[in-house]
Chain A
Amino acid sequence: KAGVTQTPRYLIKTRGQQVTLSCSPISGHRSVSWYQQTPGQGLQFLFEYFSETQRNKGNFPGRFSGRQFSNSRSEMNVSTLELGDSALYLCASSLGGGNQETQYFGPGTRLLVL
């Protein structure tokens, strides 16, 4: 079974631009969660989607948004990019996002904001 895939793998943007990242979960998984990894803050939860609905959200500004499609694929968008948004963005999928389920991660998208 194919793992979680993320595109693109690398991205360079300038301040003020917006960016869209894509995530395809493991086949049959309906929950997709997004995380940001930075050297200073570590791995932080952004949001989680299930059945095209955002069920959970972390402490990030409204510039960070996402959506999920009927095939469970998910996108996240960051508008008005800031230098501090430079990070590794990871998505993870699980069957239903339950409290006893394992999340499996994709390889990540490395975003650099100049």
Chain B
Amino acid sequence: DQQVKQNSPSLSVQEGRISILNCDYTNSMFDYFLWYKKYPAEGPTFLISISSIKDKNEDGRFTVFLNKSAKHLSLHIVPSQPGDSAVYFCAAVPSSNTGKLIFGQGTTLQVKP
């Protein structure tokens, strides 16, 4: 039972354009959502987060949007840079659980120069 889903395994964009990564969830009892970037054989690096009481959070080139009615969140990267090429994971924190993140399967982003 996959509670957090990233339905696009991969995404390719041109440098300077916008990258949009999507994530869907099935459980309404998530309090907090996060996006991580990961390189092979390394730990995930935190990018940006959003509380379930908000619908948008911005940090530099990264913006996360949350649509609670659709149980959907997205990460926008503008402008995309070749160094952004990595695997991106969305993660959700259940309100009933401490210290637990539920991850999506990841989306591999390739930014072409």
CB of A48 within 8 A of CB of B100, answer yes
Q: Quick check: is B7 within 8 A (CB to CB) of the other chain?
A: no
Q: Quick check: is A55 within 8 A (CB to CB) of the other chain?
A: yes
* Of the residues B42, B97, B101, B105, contact of A103 by C-beta under 8 Å: B101
Q: Quick check: is B93 within 8 A (CB to CB) of the other chain?
A: yes
A26 to B17, CA, bound (A): 35
A108 to B38, CA, bound (A): 12
The tally of residues in A whose CB lies under 8 Å from a CB in B reads 33
Contacts of A102 in B (CB 8 A): 34, 46, 49
Contacts of B98 in A (CB 8 A): 31, 48, 50, 55-56, 97-99
| Residues 19-55 (chain B) with a chain A CB within 8 angstroms | 31-32, 34, 36, 41-46, 49, 51
A33, A99, A104, A107 — which one has the most chain B CB atoms within 10 A of its CB? A99
Contacts of B94 in A (CB 8 A): 99
CB of B99 within 8 A of CB of A31, answer yes
CB of B99 within 8 A of CB of A107, answer no
CB of A45 within 8 A of CB of B42, answer no
B32 to chain A, nearest CB (A): 5
Contacts of B95 in A (CB 8 A): 99
Q: Quick check: is A110 within 8 A (CB to CB) of the other chain?
A: yes
Q: Quick check: is A24 within 8 A (CB to CB) of the other chain?
A: no
| Residues 40-99 (chain A) with a chain B CB within 8 angstroms | 42-45, 48-50, 55-56, 58, 88, 90, 92, 94, 97-99
CB of A48 within 8 A of CB of B32, answer no
Q: Quick check: is B102 within 8 A (CB to CB) of the other chain?
A: yes
21 sampled A-B residue pairs with Cβ under 8 A: A31-B98, A31-B99, A33-B99, A33-B101, A43-B89, A44-B103, A45-B102, A48-B100, A56-B97, A56-B99, A58-B100, A88-B41, A90-B43, A92-B101, A94-B99, A99-B94, A99-B95, A100-B51, A101-B32, A105-B36, A108-B43
Which residue numbers of A lie inside 8 Å of B, CB to CB?
A: 4, 6, 31-33, 35, 42-45, 48-50, 55-56, 58, 88, 90, 92, 94, 97-108, 110
Which residue numbers of B lie inside 8 Å of A, CB to CB?
A: 31-32, 34, 36, 41-46, 49, 51, 89, 91, 93-95, 97-106
